[in-house]
Amino acid sequence: MSYLISFEGIEGCGKTTQLEMAAKFLRRSNIPILTTEEPGGTPLGDRIRKILLNRESFDICAEAELLLFVAARAQHVREVLQPALAKGQWILCDRFSDATMVYQGFARGIDEKWIKKLNDFATMSLKPRLTLLFDLPAETGLRRALQRMTNLPENSKEDRFEQEGLNFHENIRNGYLSLARREPDRFRIINAAEDITAIHKEVCRHLETLRKNS
């Protein structure tokens, strides 16, 4: 049985750390897995990622931003995700369609109906079987993200979104929580303010449940 599992949350919530730990846990259990990220995961997606996340000297309007995220996703689904699912792999994906709903919808204010249509078009209606939402106050997440960023060279900083105010990131958190309330069967909300090991245990518990039910 193959599954798409997405890891979501605000900036600095620790999802990437947890995704890597979850990948090791599944490999130890001999489950065939693929780890990937959005935007990214393909040569086109990586180029789009650079445009979207690095600070550049030109502006990107909300509508163009939306179309670029969705273009990267369309390529990712066809080139990487569908073939991996066909091979029976479990995919751990660092962000997926929910991120667009929350960042471009809730936070940037683009009509949800548009985003849903574009997401369905890009993904051919592929949805994660399980979405782990790492929830924590925006202030804590931003502090972690900025701390990590200080150690990076200037030209590799993906900090266009970190430039947004605290209010923007609080909207993101509320947006995710509201999506989770709409689809309680798919989402698991995890307290990301806990320490790394405690969070990992909870992630493993959810993955085990999925495996037992498969």
The Cα–Cα gap between 107 and 172 comes to 6
The Cα–Cα gap between 144 and 148 comes to 6
The contact pattern for ligand Z5A, residues 130-149, with x = CB under 6 A and - = no contact, is --------------xx--x-
CB closer to ligand Z5A out of 31 and 52: 52
b (16+ CB within 10 A) / e for 43-75: ebbeebbebbbeeeeeeeeeeebbebbbbbbbb
Work out the angle at residue 194's Cα, subtended by the Cα atoms of residues 35 and 96, and round it to the nearest 5 degrees: 30
- Please select the residue that binds ligand Z5A; options are 95, 173, 188, 200, rule is CB under 6 A: 95
* By the rule CB under 6 A, 99 interacts with ligand Z5A: yes
Where does this chain touch ligand Z5A (CB under 6 A) — which range of 11-19, 28-36, 56-64, 122-130? 11-19
* By the rule CB under 6 A, 175 interacts with ligand Z5A: no
The token duo for 171 is 């909207």
* By the rule CB under 6 A, 199 interacts with ligand Z5A: yes
Name the minimum Å distance from CB 14 to ligand Z5A: 3
CB closer to ligand Z5A out of 95 and 188: 95
Give the list of residues 6+ apart from residue 34 with CB closer than 8 angstroms, or none: 80, 84, 89, 90, 91, 92
Please give the full DSSP string across 29-78, using - where no structure is assigned: TT--EEEEESS-SSHHHHHHHHHHHS--SS---HHHHHHHHHHHHHHHII
Name the minimum Å distance from CB 106 to ligand Z5A: 11
* By the rule CB under 6 A, 3 interacts with ligand Z5A: no
Size of the site for ligand Z5A (CB under 6 A): 24
| Binding-site ranges for ligand Z5A (CB under 6 A) | 11-17, 38-39, 53, 69, 94-95, 99-100, 103-104, 144-145, 148, 161, 195-196, 199
